[in-house]
Amino acid sequence: MGNFSEGFWNIFIFVCTLGGIVWLYLLTANNMGSRRPADGGGEVETTRHVWDEDLTELNNPLPRWWVMLFYATLVFGVVYLMLYPGFGSNSMFLGWTQVKEYEEEMARAEARYGPIFEQYAALPIEQVAADPKALRIGERLFASYCAVCHGSDAGGVPGFPNLRDDSWQWGGEPEQIRTSILAGRTAVMPGWRDALGGDAGVDDTLAYVRSLSGRSADAGKAAAGKERYDVVCVACHGADGAGNSALGAPSLADDVWLYGGSDADVRHSIAEGREGRMPAHGEFLGEARVHVLAAWVWSLSNH
């Protein structure tokens, strides 16, 4: 889709656009002229629609000024397409493109606001988070680029973590948050139904996971689940279920559940697995803006 206006599609757009203009011209020339009989008679052609025995619908030609006005719109269309891009990726005579317009606007914004962000980028994130002006800027960046997933209040939704608590899947230190925003994260929890011995094994493991977070669980199932946990799950989540931020393995010993904490949600996570992705924002935001945004996010759970 990135090359939709290049190569074959460039030619396709050109043919369709130019063909449409030619077709409209021919339609106008053939159907908006005189409707008088070919034998030169004076009577106007009818549409052969008759009402009330003698009320006949005539097929009179359109007024000449109306036809000329329609021709003028075709001429306008041709001139417009010669000046502005309408034939695929061709920039035509004025050299105007949406990409060029966007780049020029971004260059003007960078010249105006870039020094402000660079000033903050030279400071530690903790110091930036103590500046009210920087926090207002970071909040606006969050509203523009992050709120659609994490919520307008950064409280998160199922599958997208809450940024206001102290539970961090990839670590909550300033540089860890900055890296998450800058380079993105990809987390994969494999499905373990077969490795755990089927649905019965999943239920036993679920009981043990419930007990890790302080919830009530069947003691027998939890004991059996611990044996399975120590074989399958301990490598990522740790012996005590505290998780491993280096791997993106969340803690199972708290009551924070990224995909929901109901038995059905946790069972699905164990049996079917989960896959989450935080896209990298460094390329289009730049390191300086990410620095300010990271300071605002860090401030949510540290102020």
Distance CA 98, CA 238 (A): 52
**Which residue, among 83, 91, 103, 77, has the nearest Cα to 6 in the 3D structure?**
91
pLDDT at 162: 96
Average pLDDT estimate for 200-221:
95
Q: C-alpha distances in angstroms, 257 versus 136, 162, 186, 193?
A: 29, 10, 17, 20
Residues 174 and 201 both lie in one domain:
no
Q: For the chain, give the percent of residues with pLDDT over 90.
A: 68
Give yes or no for residue 283 having a pLDDT over 60: yes
Give yes or no for residue 36 having a pLDDT over 60: no
The domain total for the chain is 3
Tens digits of per-residue pLDDT, 114-134? 999 999 999 999 999 999 999
Task: Record the tokens describing residue 108, joined without a space.
Answer: 């003007």
Kindly state the DSSP code that residue 253 receives in the 8-state scheme.
S
Residues 61 and 113 both lie in one domain:
no
Residue whose pair of structure tokens reads 């004991």 in the numeric block? 223
The residue among 3 and 106 whose pLDDT is bigger is 106
**Residue 6: pLDDT band by 50, 70, 90 thresholds?**
low
Whether the predicted model's global pTM rises above the 0.75 cut: no
Residues 274 and 192 both lie in one domain:
yes
Q: Is residue 14 part of a domain?
A: yes
pLDDT at 13: 83
Quote the strand ranges of the chain, DSSP E.
46-51, 55-58, 185-189, 274-278
Kindly state the DSSP code that residue 278 receives in the 8-state scheme.
E
Q: For the domain that residue 177 is a member of, what is the CATH number? A: 1.10.760.10
Average pLDDT estimate for 77-106:
83
Q: Is residue 262 part of a domain?
A: yes
Domain final residue pick, 46, 68, 83? 83
Residues 167 and 214 both lie in one domain:
no
For 144-201, give the DSSP string: HHTHHHH-TTS--BTTB--SSSS--TT--SHHHHHHHHHH-EEEEE---TTTTTSHHH
Residues 154 and 180 both lie in one domain:
yes
Residues 283 and 177 both lie in one domain:
yes
Q: What is the largest CA-CA distance in the chain?
A: 104
Q: C-alpha distances in angstroms, 280 versus 53, 108, 202, 285?
A: 76, 24, 34, 10
Residue whose pair of structure tokens reads 């036993």 in the numeric block? 204
Residues 238 and 225 both lie in one domain:
yes
Kindly state the DSSP code that residue 35 receives in the 8-state scheme.
-
CB 75 within 8 A of CB 81: no
Residues 271 and 192 both lie in one domain:
yes
Q: C-alpha distances in angstroms, 120 versus 106, 128, 134, 146, 178?
A: 20, 6, 8, 20, 14
Q: Is residue 243 part of a domain?
A: yes
Rounded to 5°, angle at Cα 48 from 47 and 49: 90
Q: Is residue 101 part of a domain?
A: no
pLDDT at 39: 46
Domain membership of residue 136 as a residue range = 107-184+279-300
Distance CA 204, CA 226 (A): 8
Tens digits of per-residue pLDDT, 222-244? 999 999 999 999 999 999 999 99
Distance CA 170, CA 177 (A): 8
Average pLDDT estimate for 191-218:
95
Residue whose pair of structure tokens reads 């799950």 in the numeric block? 233
62 three-state secondary structure: coil
Q: Is residue 288 part of a domain?
A: yes
Residues 134 and 283 both lie in one domain:
yes
Q: Is residue 91 part of a domain?
A: no
Residues 77 and 119 both lie in one domain:
no
Distance CA 82, CA 90 (A): 10
Distance of CA 35 to the CA centre of its chain: 55
Q: For the chain, give the percent of residues with pLDDT over 70.
A: 93
The residue among 48 and 41 whose pLDDT is bigger is 48
| Total residue count of the chain as it appears in this document | 303
Residues 192 and 68 both lie in one domain:
no
